[in-house]
Structure 1
Amino acid sequence: MASMGRFTVGSHVWVEDADVAWIDGLVEEVHGDELIINCTSGKKVTANVSSVYPKDVEVKRSGVEDMTRLAYLHEPGVLRNLKSRYGMNEIYTYTGNILIAVNPFQRLPHLYNDHMMEMYKGAEFGELSPHPFAMADRAYRLMMNYGISQAILVSGESGAGKTESTKMLMQYLAFMGGKVESGGRSVQQQVLESNPVLEAFGNAKTVRNNNSSRFGKFVELQFDQNGKISGAAIRTYLLERSRVCQISDPERNYHCFYMLCAAPPEDRERYKLGDASLFHYLNQSNCIKLDGMDDSSEYIATRRAMDIVGISSDEQDAIFRVVAAILHLGNVEFSEGSEADSSVPKDDKSQFHLRTAAELFMCDEKSLEESLCKRVMVTRGESIVRNLDSRAAALSRDALARIVYSRLFDWLVNKINTTIGQDPTSKLLIGVLDIYGFESFKTNSFEQFCINLTNEKLQQHFNQHVFKMEQEEYTKEEIDWSYIQFVDNQDILDLIEKKPGGIIALLDETCMLRNSNHEIFAEKLYQKFKDNPHFSRPKFSRSDFTIHHYAGNVTYQTDLFLDKNIDYAVNEHQDLLHASTCPFVSSLFPPSEESTKSSKSTKFTSIGSSFKVKNHCSFYFRLY
């Protein structure tokens, strides 16, 4: 597309610019494949014809609502159109039946009220301005008119506004499929109110986004033959559990922690909480308060939403006891014990927080301390108690906090699904997928690796439907058309998930080896993929690796890859919390074969492999 037509003196063109991506100008001279361009910015540049694009001088300054109407559908043309519309506060633009949203980073309530929903109800697609309501209405009409289930995919970079767009889609579908209830809570109410609950426990402030979803979500709405919502199911993917214990400036932990610390005085007293800045799991960064977010009122709103989705007051109390216990657990520090390589709570302050955590978990204080500071090894039917040094005890503490929070989040999802209920007789579904955006930070760990694998899968899905299948259809119907080049990322997917021999398979293999570490894992990668064009080893690095993704190169730090890939509860933690006198806490840790004293080892489950399987299952839907 870069060499569309022949450029001549006086041609209006776009040329790449290091500062603003693209600048426009006039071709002043042509010397074979070299063009001298006089840019409107005042620059005069020399560029190869392969990096120059024609400019449409007839397009309106306000841009077009559907970019398929552009004379040239290339990168500078698309960006110019989006920028023109954004400058006029038009944040939505179509490309055929795809809606592009540009985040305005401000609330625009007038765009999403009941009046707007009434306007888009039954309107022909493209008749009104681009809008998420139009996408939801189209999916609903296709489902009802043709009896075919639909799926809406919401994707984009981290911070692009995916979660807000998903809320608008759900709002409209609930508007169209809502039932009038004589008593109790309606299904559509419970579906909508599940959002603030899951956001409180699954969203956090990141570098790019004050309300970033740190988990993936697929919501399946089930409809009866009259088009009314009759059931729903929510599936979640890969909660970023490491955030519970480790945050970097200027990010925050999950919202629920700050909400609880800003709760009414009687609640803070019940859970023995003070200011959020007093807790290690929250004060690692310089961000406690969040502009535009009142944690105190959010706490009240979350409790109200929990009521609507069927979480009883006793269950709510137990949930926040667990949240508070995690905060107190994070304040327990360790020092060397009297025995070699042993550890004990560091001081009276640590002992206080240990005791408070035990009270909130409703478990024995001494047993909690031993579960953090000791390990029981079972060999040939004999139990050997091994001490943990202060560093290992701190890692044990963080492991306990992560697994408790992860189980709590899973409980919330299951509770919401149970309360809403599914309709086994429904044959009409609309699925809405809100999945993490592509991430590339200063430090990229296992979470970013999994998130970017998801985006590679989405890109392949997009390629398959938008390019491959469309062009095959053109060929089949003998339509005269120009072949569009696109990057097929199957090689990158093979690099990551091929079995045997992919990165995930090598990670699982390393996790199962005794005395293995991240450097051994990294060395395996270097040896296996030294000739792979999509993989490289950064200079002067002992354990980092770089993947050349479709969206750009990302360098991953492997330090915690092994720990984060292992999904299990340490036997001592499992036994401790199953024995809790709080039925809720005990239910989070049901007995299993691996937790019995006779078990010789804890069964290893790979988070990477299970996440890969979930990805495959989730993306077998048709995109409209």
Structure 2
Amino acid sequence: MASPVNIIVGSHVWVEDPVLAWIDGQVTRLDGQDVHVKTTNGKKVVANVSKVFPKDTEASPGGVDDMTKLSYLHEPGVLQNLATRYELNEIYTYTGNILIAINPFQRLPHLYDTHMMEQYKGAALGELSPHVFAIADVAYRAMKNEGKSNSILVSGESGAGKTETTKMLMRYLAHLGGRSGVEGRTVEQQVLEDREKFKLENPKSFHYLNQSNCYELDGVSDAEEYLATRRAMDIVGISEEEQEAIFRVVAAILHLGNIEFAKGKEIDSSVIKDEKSRFHLNTTAELLECDAKNLEDAMIKRVMVTPEEVITRTLDPESALSSRDALAKTIYSRLFDWIVEKINISIGQDPNSKTIIGVLDIYGFESFKHNSFEQFCINFTNEKLQQHFNQHVFKTEQEEYEKEQINWSYIEFVDNQDVLDLIEKKPGGIIALLDEACMFPKSTHETFAQKLYQTFLKNKRFIKPKLSRTNFTISHYAGEVTYLADLFLDKNKDYVVAEHQDLLTASKCRFVAGLFPPLPEESSKSSKFSSIGSRFKLQLQSLMETLSSTEPHYIRCVKPNNVLKPAIFENLNIIQQLRCGGVLEAIRISCAWIPRLDVHLMSLFSDLVFLLLKYWMGTLMTRLPAR
């Protein structure tokens, strides 16, 4: 983003800062391409003129509600505007038609009540303050008036507030559709005993809940959230008996995650580690209504059937942990699918409807200390959606400029097609190579990694980390992520372990047994390989086809800080998210045509003035007496 005005001595400017991202100051000297700046915190900085940006000294103290209204559409100006608004609890800001939503990490109920919904009903975008309701309303009116399906894509990294934003969208759309009346209906306000019954007295002690170290948020009541969930279940027709079973299964999964293993007496064998683990084992069995010994065996033993004999082998502690997690994921997956199907049946779409509004709440781009197959799939999804965002925002906008005959210059943005080719291209993409490795019995994570190294030796998006025989790095649009290939083969194989299936099919709980109906005889004896990666790719392709048939609207959620607390605005963190999400490029495209539009209008204005002057002079000349 080149500076749109000349930088001179005395200019108030922004320069980069390693802690604050950007800091303001005043130019003290110019030395060729070097600009000397004294910052407001007393530092003296020398920066290249291309990295020095003018500061708007007349900016509104409350910021602007649309980035395109900024005097200077550059990164520090955008950051300052967001910070100013966030300090005033103005968490929503437009960038043209894109809504940026910064998580306040606190309840702001006045923003989402029925009165607020009525205000946004039928209002044009930009007529009122930026709001998630405004985006929902635009999508709804477009669907009703133009007869075209619309979609709202809510994106952002974990903790940015995507799910809460999606809830607000759904609530508003339900309000417009006349379905919100059920919200206030009388429901018995009773919470069945939201820990004692399921032995969940201390949530902090559960391994599966102990990943983020965040157990509560200011202004968020677990009891109220639990009650709201029960109400929602009532509304969509999940019976009280089914609700009870759902919570039993969720509690069982939590207890399952606390079962640990120690080395057994035999080689490559394991046993329940201690009495604490034994307690969680027994509680899991009690909640799932299955035999505790069978549950233990299902996690630490495997039965192999050969034409000659039946062989039982034991698992070492590490493999037993993987077996435990696989069982938890299987149960959770079946429960999730059951709930989705139940809801879809309950609120089933009108089969005669030709238009829809799709609301997509996607998991954000992930880059942890240890990244495995799950992060690979999540980041693959984000690459796909980023490409969709690029194509729609930039291509559509630039086509509009051509249509309006506006003098514009093409905006460069990061094209991530090469990353997608690296991941999904047939036959040589990572997913294809992973499937190939999974189908060969002698393949290991090391042979898989070596195959990747050989295949993508010259690919600029693929990096082999030094001193590693199994890790690989992909240069994503949002930055480099290093993946541990160690469990890729196991996690790509989609089959339910026969011991897990048998255990849960035999459950005395009708609900649990219903999640695991008996398999046909022929499929229960053998587990044919089915690729999770390939199926994921197909589902993603189907999603993109659906999105392509709709008019998209974008909401970019931003996490303001990593401690998940209100009133904290971490500049570097936010800038990274804006860069990764393509928001700054979207602002740049606005920046590209606004100055040129001004020139275009000035040109028209000049022509108009000239014609008027010519006409006036001509009229004047006819009135002047001849000399």
Instruction: Give the TM-score band, short-chain normalised.
Output: 0.7 to 0.9
| Residues 345/596 of structure 1: CA separation in 2 closer, same or farther (3 Å cut) | farther
Does residue 1:157 correspond to 2:157, yes or no?
yes
In structure 2, the partner of 1:251 is none
In structure 2, the partner of 1:268 is 196
In structure 2, the partner of 1:558 is 485
Does residue 1:614 correspond to 2:539, yes or no?
yes
Which stretch has the larger CA shift, 2-11 or 78-87? 2-11
Superposition deviation, residue 273 in structure 1: 6.0
Q: What is the TM-score with the length of structure 1 in the denominator?
A: 0.79
In structure 2, the partner of 1:604 is 529
One-letter code aligned to 1:268: E
* Inter-partner Cα distance in structure 1 for 2:381 and 2:287: 37
| Residues 400/29 of structure 1: CA separation in 2 closer, same or farther (3 Å cut) | same
Superposition deviation, residue 20 in structure 1: 1.3
Q: What does 1:280-359 align with in structure 2 at a 5 Å threshold?
A: 281=208, 294-296=221-223, 298-334=225-261, 341-345=268-272, 353-359=280-286
One-letter code aligned to 1:614: Q
Contact 2:106 2:217 in 1 (8 A): no
Superposition deviation, residue 89 in structure 1: 2.6
* Inter-partner Cα distance in structure 2 for 1:367 and 1:327: 19
Does residue 1:34 correspond to 2:53, yes or no?
no
Contact 1:91 1:101 in 2 (8 A): yes
Q: CA RMSD in A?
A: 3.1
* Inter-partner Cα distance in structure 1 for 2:280 and 2:93: 53
* Inter-partner Cα distance in structure 2 for 1:122 and 1:30: 53
| Residues 351/130 of structure 1: CA separation in 2 closer, same or farther (3 Å cut) | closer
Q: Secondary structure in 1 aligned to 2:135?
A: helix
Does residue 1:410 correspond to 2:410, yes or no?
no
Q: Secondary structure in 1 aligned to 2:60?
A: coil
One-letter code aligned to 2:305: V
| Residues 263/389 of structure 1: CA separation in 2 closer, same or farther (3 Å cut) | farther
In structure 2, the partner of 1:575 is 502
* Inter-partner Cα distance in structure 1 for 2:521 and 2:479: 42
Which stretch has the larger CA shift, 145-154 or 505-514? 505-514
Contact 1:374 1:385 in 2 (8 A): yes
Contact 1:263 1:299 in 2 (8 A): no
Identity %: 66
* Inter-partner Cα distance in structure 2 for 1:277 and 1:29: 57
Contact 2:107 2:220 in 1 (8 A): no
In structure 1, the partner of 2:568 is none
| Residues 542/172 of structure 1: CA separation in 2 closer, same or farther (3 Å cut) | same
In structure 1, the partner of 2:435 is 508
* Inter-partner Cα distance in structure 2 for 1:290 and 1:31: 51
* Inter-partner Cα distance in structure 2 for 1:291 and 1:81: 25
Superposition deviation, residue 54 in structure 1: 3.3
Q: What is the TM-score with the length of structure 2 in the denominator?
A: 0.78
Any gaps of 5 or more consecutive residues in structure 1?
194-261
Contact 1:264 1:296 in 2 (8 A): no
* Inter-partner Cα distance in structure 2 for 1:451 and 1:68: 32
Contact 1:326 1:357 in 2 (8 A): yes
Superposition deviation, residue 62 in structure 1: 2.5
* Inter-partner Cα distance in structure 1 for 2:86 and 2:18: 22
Any gaps of 5 or more consecutive residues in structure 2?
554-627
In structure 2, the partner of 1:498 is 425
| Residues 348/176 of structure 1: CA separation in 2 closer, same or farther (3 Å cut) | closer
Superposition deviation, residue 418 in structure 1: 1.6
Superposition deviation, residue 108 in structure 1: 0.9
Q: Deviations over 1:243-267 (max 9, x none)?
A: xxxxxxxxxxxxxxxxxxx9629x7
Superposition deviation, residue 109 in structure 1: 0.7
Which stretch has the larger CA shift, 143-152 or 377-386? 377-386
* Inter-partner Cα distance in structure 1 for 2:303 and 2:375: 34
Q: Deviations over 1:24-77 (max 9, x none)?
A: 334333333222233343333222222223334443333222211223322122
Superposition deviation, residue 112 in structure 1: 1.1
* Inter-partner Cα distance in structure 1 for 2:214 and 2:126: 43
One-letter code aligned to 2:148: I
Q: What does 1:122-201 align with in structure 2 at a 5 Å threshold?
A: 122-179=122-179
Contact 1:571 1:595 in 2 (8 A): no
Contact 2:302 2:499 in 1 (8 A): yes
Superposition deviation, residue 309 in structure 1: 2.0
* Inter-partner Cα distance in structure 2 for 1:563 and 1:450: 14
Superposition deviation, residue 177 in structure 1: 0.8
Greater helix share, structure number: 2
Aligned residues: 545
In structure 1, the partner of 2:119 is 119
| Residues 386/130 of structure 1: CA separation in 2 closer, same or farther (3 Å cut) | same
Q: Secondary structure in 2 aligned to 1:561?
A: helix
Q: What does 1:469-484 align with in structure 2 at a 5 Å threshold?
A: 469-475=396-402, 477-484=404-411
Contact 1:571 1:594 in 2 (8 A): no
Superposition deviation, residue 534 in structure 1: 1.9
One-letter code aligned to 2:539: K
Larger Rg: 2
In structure 1, the partner of 2:360 is 433
Q: What does 1:222-237 align with in structure 2 at a 5 Å threshold?
A: none
Whose relative contact order is higher, 1 or 2, with alpha carbons under 8 Å and at least 6 apart?
Answer: 2
Q: Deviations over 1:224-254 (max 9, x none)?
A: xxxxxxxxxxxxxxxxxxxxxxxxxxxxxxx
